[in-house]
Amino acid sequence: MDNPARTAEYVALRDARCAELQRALTELLATHPRITLELGAGHGHFLTDYAAAHPAEFCVGVDLLRDRVVRATRKRDRAKLSNLAFLQAEAGEFLGALPAQVVFGRIFVLFPDPWPKRRHWKRRFISD
């Protein structure tokens, strides 16, 4: 059953989260109209190495879980990379909050199916 109070609360929290994400992205990407994106960046192993090898590209890693973003950010800081940022966000909300002028140079989605069972189809990031 639908609970209007819980639904309204969820929508209000989602809208606030999206507004904050949009503000952060506008600030972060003001001078970087072309980005390399990794969706599901995890602990940042791949994108940190990629950003180090491609210093002319501005790279953004997005992951849903906060602890992964914290670990990836520590990895970036230890490598002293100024062309790399990690954000905690749901992929759809991140894409919806991007400023209009942003262009993707490359998009990486590595190991996108952590839900191998058939009944988990609704949780998969990529599907038919």
pTM, whole model, 2 decimals? 0.84
Ramachandran sector of residue 125 (left: φ over 0; alpha: ψ -120 to 50; beta: rest): alpha
Token pair for 39: 């969706």
Segment 34-56 shows an average pLDDT of: 96
Q: Is 67 a catalytic residue?
A: no
- What is the residue type of 66? R
Average pLDDT over residues 93-111: 93
Choose, from 15, 63, 113, 128, the residue flagged as catalytic. 113
Q: What percent of the chain has pLDDT over 70?
A: 91
| Per-residue pLDDT band at 113 (split at 50, 70, 90) | low
Show the tokens assigned to 118.
């058939």
User: What band does 5 get if pLDDT is binned at 50, 70 and 90?
Assistant: confident
Mean per-residue pLDDT over the chain, rounded: 90
